[in-house]
Structure 1
């Protein structure tokens, strides 16, 4: 039983970094234009890069706002509300 446990453990330990590395390689490379675009979005949502005193909290709050805006972005008019047809 111990003879099977050691090779299985080694395979699990050595195989895990290869899986995580392959997932990282599938992401698109980060470009300078992409970073600038993201910074413009963050500043439009209220991020102030000079406020380093509250750094983790302010960037996380602004990123949450940007994510909420992206989630709510859709095409066409709102489907909420009433509509009336005229005579």
Structure 2
């Protein structure tokens, strides 16, 4: 009798632990999903990732470098060069636009 009672307690304890574990996993998944949606972002499409990679390669980034010891720094430098390139393009576009506030100020 004593062992049957202990077995029932052990089974109840395991079931309780499984329920708590499942609840934690579900809560984590919901929290992650809400955080992603709250940020106003969407999952990147394959085309968007390809476009970003092509842009980074256009400013000298080489993803085929393999085990590059300068990996994070090289990528960050390429991202910075790309941002500078985009800013220059925006400035050039604004300087040729006759309705641009910068052009009107001259």
What is the TM-score when the length of structure 2 is the normalising length? Answer: 0.48
* Correspondence for 2:16: none
CA contact (8 A) 2:36 2:42 kept: no
* RMSD of aligned Cα (Å): 2.9
* Correspondence for 1:41: 55
Q: Which has the larger Rg?
A: 2
Question: Which structure carries more helix by proportion?
Answer: 2
Which shifted more, 22-31 or 38-47? 22-31
Residues 23 and 71 (structure 1), Cα distance of their counterparts in 2 relative to 1, 3 Å cut: farther
How far off its partner does 1:21 sit?
A: 5.8
What is the TM-score when the length of structure 1 is the normalising length? Answer: 0.57
Distance 1:57 1:35 in 2: 20
Structure 1 counterpart of 2:70, from 54, 57, 67 = 54
User: Which runs of no fewer than 5 residues in structure 2 stay unpaired?
Assistant: 1-30, 97-101
Q: Secondary structure at the match of 1:27?
A: coil
Q: Secondary structure at the match of 2:64?
A: coil
Please list, as runs of the form range in 1=range in 2, the aligned pairs for 1:1-87 lying within 5 A after superposition: 22-25=34-37, 26-51=40-65, 52-74=68-90, 75=93, 77=95
Residues 61 and 32 (structure 1), Cα distance of their counterparts in 2 relative to 1, 3 Å cut: same
Higher relative contact order (CA 8 A, sep 6+): 1
User: Which runs of no fewer than 5 residues in structure 1 stay unpaired?
Assistant: 1-17, 80-87
